[in-house]
Structure formats: structure tokens, C-alpha cells
Amino acid sequence: MIVSRVRHGDTHTPHSSSRRREAVVPDHALLVFGFIPPDLRATLSERFALVELDRARAAPWTGFDIAVTTGIVGAGRREFDLCPDLRLVVSQGIGLETFDLAEARRRGIAVAHTPDEIAEDVGDAAIAMIYAVLRGTLRADAFVRAGRWGKERIAATRRVAGRTVGIVGLGRIGRHVADRATAIGMRVLYHTRRRAEAPYEWMADVVTLATRSDVLVLACPGGEATRHLVDATVLDALGPDGVLVNVARGSVVDEAALLDALEGGRIHGAALDVFATEPAIDPRFLALDNVVLSPHSASITRETRAAIIARMIDDIDAYRNGRPFFDAAAAP
């Protein structure tokens, strides 16, 4: 980083109101592969020159060894072909399903992401969504705002404690959901491809998990391996008293089947932070009062945003200074 002293004003005396200020001149340019949040862009811009990747440009983007992206945008063969000097891709987010890790590994491109920073807040959000559906938090708010209190009695809701939550995926996020669910008196079951070291009962398949659960929480990776993992069969197994909570990826759920189940009363309700098409979600969701909708914001807290940005900058610094950092492309 180059630091230059910038004198403000034509003259300077010890008693002048002008003071010397330090202006940071970027000494490295980063390619940006797609939309990044304003707070991340602002912080990166303080230290680096940001250049937007134009995928329509025929000429290769030479001279750029670092790129910034998100788990939604990802990076793969197309971006690697366009950027022959690329050696590091830094991503905001936990998801890696939009990255071609094998190709990155083959080309010697490191992929750094933020798997640890969001898990606690997403775990909190999943529990909040369970309460929102079972205890009718949003309905109660709307009931008061509509002036109905005092004129009629609000409908009874459902207790959370004592119910069984089935968690699909017991990684960082899934474990935080399980810890919090246990603390509020819920019984925890889970499904993963292989039994995990955990004090909860493992279910070998999602249909069995749904059959035995009151609430099904999705906390698994996205990608082809889990596409439409929750379909009509799983929803029917969850049943008319069941609740679906999705803080994973929209692709994990067959949304057409979910909408049919919600509209037909085949499940009690749902809370969704992610969707198959974002932000242009299926308008059928907007007409339903048994689904809670959230704009992919389960991880968006001030604390998590600060931690994510700090992690990304630290990974960039580690790469540039030869310090070790976690490379998802090199992980087994």
C-alpha cells in the first residue's frame, strides 16, 4: 500500500486550519466478477482499484491475479479463460456450488470464501423463522395494525417447545440450528449423507426425517446433488401440521410442489430465506398467508458483515504476503 501526504490549501502555517491528511493510493487492482454489496465494495475501494469484469469483451483480462465474487455469482471455466493471470478468487459467502473447484485446482487458482462468519446468525434466523410460523409473529403484528385487537380474538398459535425439528445438513449452520433448537426445548433429528459425530438421532433419508419431524429445516449445500431434494413426496411426509424452513439454497426445494402444498393445506406453513429465482420470486408466494418470506437476509447482521469483510481482506493480504489461508480449491 502506498501512502502519500496530501497538503490541503495553498499555504500552511502551524496555526492554519488546514491539516495534513493521509490519502491511500491503491497499489493493486482487483477484478469484480459480479454484484458485490455496497459495504464490501466501499471497504475494498479504500485499498484496491476495482475493475468490473466484462464477459462480453473478446480480449483476455491480463494482469489481474485477484478477483472478488460472491457465492451466488461464483466462478468457473469461463471466468478462468478470460483471466489467464488469475491466482486467487475471494468470495463472500459459504456456498461453493457455483465454483468449478476442480478446474481452479487444475489451473493453480486458490478459492477463498467465508464459511465460518455467517453460521451463527443464520442459525439464529432459522429459529426466528420457526417462531414466526408456529407462533404467528407476523400475523399478530398485522392483527394489531389492522385495528382488530379488541374487536375480535386472535386465533391460537402453536407451541414451539416439545416439537421435533429435523435438520437437513449438519455442517456449521446446521449445528448452530441444532444447538439453539435444543436450548428452546425442541428434539433434534438430522439427515446427512453419512452419520455425523453428533448427539442427535440420524435419519438415513429425507422422507423418513420429514415423517418424524414437526419442522424441517434445510441447512445443506446447494448444487445438483441436492436439487429438488425436497419434493412433493417429502412435503407429504411432513404433513398438514408440518413446517418447512429453508436457509440453504432455493434449488433444494421443488418450488412448484411447495406452492401446491401450501395452497392446498398439505403442510401447515413455511418460512423461506432463499428462492429458486432471486429476487424475482414466484408471485404465488405473495398471495399466501401461511408462508414467511425473507430476502436472502438470514446472515445480514452488522456483526457478520464486518467479520466477512475483514476475513476477505485478510485472505487477500495473506495471499499477497505469502501467509497461509484456507483454499477451498485445494481442500480434500
Q: pLDDT confidence of 24, banded at 50, 70, 90? A: low
Q: pLDDT confidence of 27, banded at 50, 70, 90? A: confident
Cell numbers at 2, concatenated = 502506498
Class of domain 2-117+302-321: alpha beta
Q: What is the pLDDT of residue 95?
A: 87
CA triple 88-91-93, angle to 5 deg:
155
pLDDT 10s digits, 242-296:
999 999 999 999 999 999 999 999 999 999 999 999 999 999 999 999 999 999 9
Annotated active-site residue in 163, 175, 249, 268: 249
Contact 16, 35 (CB under 8 A): no
Q: Judge whether 2-117+302-321 and 119-293 match in fold.
A: yes
Poorest-pLDDT segment among 6-10, 109-113, 290-294, 313-317: 6-10
Tell me how far apart the alpha carbons of residues 74 and 100 are, in angstroms, rounded to a whole number. Answer: 8
Q: What is the mean pLDDT of residues 178-207?
A: 97
Nearest to 90 by CA among 106, 71, 116, 105: 71
pLDDT at 13 > cutoff 70: no
Annotated active-site residue in 278, 303, 320, 323: 278
Averaged pLDDT of the chain: 91
Q: What is the pLDDT of residue 44?
A: 97
Tell me how far apart the alpha carbons of residues 293 and 272 are, in angstroms, rounded to a whole number. Answer: 5
H or E stretch covering 157: none
Continuous H helices in 8-85 = 38-45, 77-82
The dihedrals phi and psi of 294, each to the nearest 5 degrees, come to -135, 140
Of residues 5 and 218, more confidence is placed in 218
Region 119-293: CATH code = 3.40.50.720
**How does DSSP assign 221-282, residue by residue?**
--SGGGTT-B-HHHHHHH-TT-EEEE-S-GGGB-HHHHHHHHHTTSSSEEEES--SSSSS--
Chain-centroid distance of CA 261 in Å reads 25
Q: What is the mean pLDDT of residues 225-251?
A: 97
Q: What is the pLDDT of residue 153?
A: 96
Cell numbers at 178, concatenated = 441444532
Q: pLDDT confidence of 25, banded at 50, 70, 90? A: low
Q: pLDDT confidence of 47, banded at 50, 70, 90? A: very high
Q: What is the pLDDT of residue 1?
A: 27
Domain borders along the chain are 2-117+302-321, 119-293
Say whether pTM exceeds 0.75.
yes
pLDDT 10s digits, 128-184:
999 999 999 999 999 999 999 999 999 999 999 999 999 999 999 999 999 999 999
Q: What is the pLDDT of residue 45?
A: 95
Nearest to 247 by CA among 132, 106, 162, 86: 132
Is residue 278 part of the annotated active site? The answer reads yes
Nearest to 273 by CA among 251, 301, 295: 295
pLDDT 10s digits, 51-68:
999 998 889 999 999 999
Q: pLDDT confidence of 85, banded at 50, 70, 90? A: very high
Q: pLDDT confidence of 20, banded at 50, 70, 90? A: very low
**Backbone region of residue 223 per phi and psi (left: phi > 0; alpha: psi in -120 to 50; beta: other values):** left
